[in-house]
Chain A
């Protein structure tokens, strides 16, 4: 008998799911939770269910723009914020000396507790089923995806599928010149699934990234290192929590030196990220230490942050020392660093390359435009970072659910969330390197703050069914109080003359508060009859909104200028080959994305300002009925 005939094939352990989520990382967890909480029968399929919510790289959540995303996830009804509040071991607010828009929260996590907490949460969720299995391909009904099948021969029919496969698609791990196929060090790669996506006609690319060696804390001398402690008064990530009641542990700052750099420089050719062995695009945002040494030869030292991976482990993450160098070089360079002279590596750093799907093939709902029912989220779309992944996972899970329900998709605007910026950047610009969110990517930055994520998004979370009516009502009430209080400031005046520098007597309290040195709490000094709002969260919002008001107005005026381009629609049947004045390269990029507006065209990388002008002139002139470039122009006399 032929072996193949004995193979399990087409075994259907259950009848029909509404949503199948392939991959149990940070994107997959949010997608599965969202779909199940929206009342849909949901399956989370993971290669290894021990690794659900694994932190593959650094043991931390948050950071600039990322902390914003975590709060947005919370406001929309996702889980990441609650998970990190419950399992963090150090909490800090970054940029406290800058303005509120760019203050971000970041926390070190106990990695083991984090994933245990998350798995428990998922397992406890009604309608959410978890199975271990390696997805190999899709069940199709014409162009539409109607489920997945696994290596073990199971078939899971589903009305929608979310793929959030992280770095597992055709993953290849490199440590020096050693390499092996893996989705993470020591775990299977998903080879067939990548081929199946390509088989659906999707254009794929390749990226690379790398992680750091993990050190044994027993072998570190902490005395020469500088401790970095958490904040005692930390505002939790989740709007549901009012304070964090957990003990905090420090991280430690170390520093590389010229000896370290010499060892790295002498071994550059042994790094697969430098030697050309790896073909994917490297991440600019967490470059390998070999890349840093090569790009900045003048630097005499780079900071390293030694971060504990948890309370029940002695493994230390070496933030700043991402590397694909061979293990002997890793050890040699680490031991040049004061405090690490005797260090032992528990796990080496490694580089990994993997396939991704060019995200310009997705709509703003994260559904593949050419394959109805198939949603993609996370690193498969070319991003890096747990928070970016989780934000996309939430959007994809919600939209898969809305599709099943026959409701219109949730599309978040660039002016209402970082998640909206992220998704819009991905689906309109695409990416050629692992994409990381930064506050500078948000043109509406002053509006998108951690402190107002609830005001921005909770009603949307409520509309899709992830935020309760009570929570939504509480936020509405807060918004109302803020608005009333700002109005009140526009009615009351400064009644006391406090001399030079102080707000002028008779001026509105609103205008007084706009002065940089005046705070909301001070207003009673200028008008003793004025009683400030009791609620601190309301008072904070009033202060921020009033102080930012002038700048927000200017920021929005600039955005408005650019938005003019958004109103210029490009006909869907435009023939780019008839635009003689643009280069073949630009034409290819325009053909690839087929932007809907001139604004979108202008955001595509590689589309030059002159090409946008050419397109604008073409659009303006297309009603002349003459093909502007079909004939060579002649004439002109001396």
Chain B
């Protein structure tokens, strides 16, 4: 499909497409498929392919501008020819994300929606796709609007009490400002609680498999991927390069990297590999520490466990198909057999759980989700400003000072949705209060 947007799309459409019945009406009826042929300008007699043309009239289109979509049988040659015909007719190639950018600039979507479009298109797991679709459909924007409504009311209450002290006496319900601030704070906290899983869904995690030599790190990678990606050999130190693959850990896209085993005495090549493994560990979101459950943990295992204490990690006790050693793996380890596939789902579940280990809530089935670090930062600022405002209202701080925090909070919402807060407060005051002596 070729999509064209802008004020002159109809001219382009007319030069590169001829309906089977001819142009009975022009411009064509919006949102009604026309059957015909696509062709180069002035070459209707030598069509490229049979095609369907759909016209969307502004503002009821994706970008908010006039949009034409031409659908043909497909195939790279045909699509390239239609694209070239359109360029010849005066269109130009869209920049990456330009349709969405235009949709944002024309007010068809807010920034949180626009951001989610690219993430939706690139979603690599079903759950990521579902959550991004919710964003594209405006779930975060709606929650931001609810927060803004509450804050706007607080601001209006404060400003009205400051600027019209004699006129609105008695109109202000005591405690209402605090109630609205707490509402805003609760909504903000709820939205922010989705940040860990939301960002993980959207940006994915990187997990690094580490362990002493020959505990079956590469086997675990292969088992998770369901294919023989890494070479497996009983000889320790087989893996020298990093091998990676992508898995779906209960919805979270995870890039898993297999590394060289960590041991002390090693040859020159291996030393370099171990160094690189350590660097990789520092950058990873999560470590998968593999132990061999058929033998007691050795000194190397123990030092690895000690050194990664407090770091985000999942301990995996591999080779559960063999007889467990007397001293089993440390508590909390996931028991897995790369050979039989036993415990792999538990491992994926553990990776997923890890996302919420340090706070946050599951994204749930509906409502807004924070899907980028930028959104999380704006919301963090918003939360802090709301907390200060609420504390101020509780502590009887003067309204002109609380107003500074509320104004700050409103600015953060603007950052979240990409709007700058304009003079909305006065409008709010005048719709709510009877002003004027």
Contacts and interface: CB of A to CB of B under 8 A. Distances in A.
A570 interface: no
Contact of B102 (A302, A581, A603): A581
Q: Which of A322, A610, A629 has the most CB of B within 10 A?
A: A610
Contact of A633 (B99, B404, B418, B423): B99
Q: Which of A319, A602, A631 has the most CB of B within 10 A?
A: A631
Given A284-B435, A440-B426, A636-B2, A631 B91 contact: yes
Interface stretch (A98-106, A162-170, A229-237, A505-513): A98-106
Nearest to A96: B165
Nearest to B414: A609
A295 B431 CA distance: 9
Interface in B413-437: 414, 418-420, 422-423, 425-426, 430, 434-437
B436 to A, nearest CB: 4
Interface stretch (B21-29, B82-90, B279-287): B82-90
Interface string A376-398: 00000000000000000000000
Nearest to A307: B437
Interface residues of B, number: 65
A634 B91 contact: yes
B300 interface: no
Contacts of A554: 404-405, 408
B2 A634 contact: yes
Contacts of B425: 440
B395 interface: yes
Contact of A637 (B1, B12, B164): B1
B412 to A, nearest CB: 10
B400 A445 contact: yes
B98 interface: yes
Contacts of B297: none
Nearest to A637: B79
A387 to B, nearest CB: 14
Given A95-B165, A554-B408, A609-B414, A633 B4 contact: yes
Given A558-B411, A634-B12, A581 B106 contact: yes
A320 B436 contact: yes
Given A439-B163, A634-B87, A99 B12 contact: no
Interface in B86-106: 86-87, 90-95, 98-99, 101-102, 104-106
A292 interface: yes
B9 interface: yes
Contacts of A299: 434
Interface stretch (A14-22, A78-86, A399-407, A612-620): A612-620
A7 interface: no
Interface in B7-46: 7-9, 12
A634 B419 contact: no
Contact of A440 (B95, B162, B405, B414): B162
Interface in A585-638: 602-603, 605, 608-610, 612-614, 617, 629, 631-638
A546 to B, nearest CB: 14
A99 B398 contact: yes
Q: Which of A283, A304, A580 has the most CB of B within 10 A?
A: A580
A286 interface: yes
Given A95-B162, A446-B400, A581-B106, A634 B92 contact: yes
Interface in B389-409: 395, 397-401, 403-405, 407-408
B345 interface: no
A632 B434 CA distance: 49
Interface string A531-563: 000000000000000001001001100100110
Given A99-B400, A516-B395, A614-B105, A635 B159 contact: no
B57 interface: no
Contact of A629 (B6, B95, B423): B6
B92 to A, nearest CB: 5
A98 B99 contact: no
Nearest to B87: A634
A609 B419 contact: yes
Nearest to B411: A558
Nearest to B70: A634
Contact of B162 (A102, A286, A296, A581): A102
Contacts of B9: 632
Interface residues of A, number: 60
A287 interface: yes
Nearest to B161: A98
Contacts of A526: none
B167 interface: yes
A285 B4 contact: no
Contacts of B422: 602-603, 605, 609
Nearest to B167: A303
A438 interface: yes
B339 interface: no
A305 interface: yes
A101 B163 CA distance: 12
Contacts of A94: 165-166
A244 interface: no
Contact of A558 (B12, B86, B408, B419): B408
A185 to B, nearest CB: 20
Q: Which of A319, A438, A635 has the most CB of B within 10 A?
A: A635
B163 A438 contact: yes
A69 interface: no
Interface string B164-185: 1111010000000000000000
A65 interface: yes
Contacts of A285: 435-436
B410 to A, nearest CB: 10
B90 A561 contact: no
Contacts of A612: 420
A98 B162 contact: yes
B418 A303 contact: no
A617 B95 CA distance: 14
A65 B398 contact: no
A22 B49 CA distance: 76
A319 B437 contact: yes
Nearest to A293: B434
A494 B104 CA distance: 56
B3 interface: yes
Contact of B436 (A101, A287, A602): A287
A636 B400 contact: no
B103 to A, nearest CB: 10
A636 B94 CA distance: 7
A610 B94 contact: no
Given A580-B7, A609-B422, A635-B2, A286 B94 contact: no
B328 interface: no
Given A64-B164, A99-B400, A555-B404, A636 B7 contact: no
Q: Which of A98, A582, A631, A634 has the most CB of B within 10 A?
A: A634
Interface string A436-447: 001110000110
A292 B167 CA distance: 12
Nearest to B401: A551
A500 B93 CA distance: 70
Interface in B368-401: 395, 397-401
B99 A610 contact: no
12 contacts: A284-B436, A440-B163, A440-B403, A440-B425, A555-B404, A565-B420, A631-B6, A631-B90, A634-B94, A636-B1, A636-B99, A637-B1
Interface of A: 64-65, 94-95, 98-99, 101-102, 283-287, 292, 295-296, 299, 302-305, 319-320, 322, 438-440, 445-446, 516, 548, 551, 554-555, 558, 561-562, 565, 580-582, 602-603, 605, 608-610, 612-614, 617, 629, 631-638
Given A440-B403, A632-B4, A633-B91, 9 more contacts: A98-B165, A102-B398, A286-B436, A322-B436, A439-B159, A608-B107, A632-B91, A633-B94, A635-B2
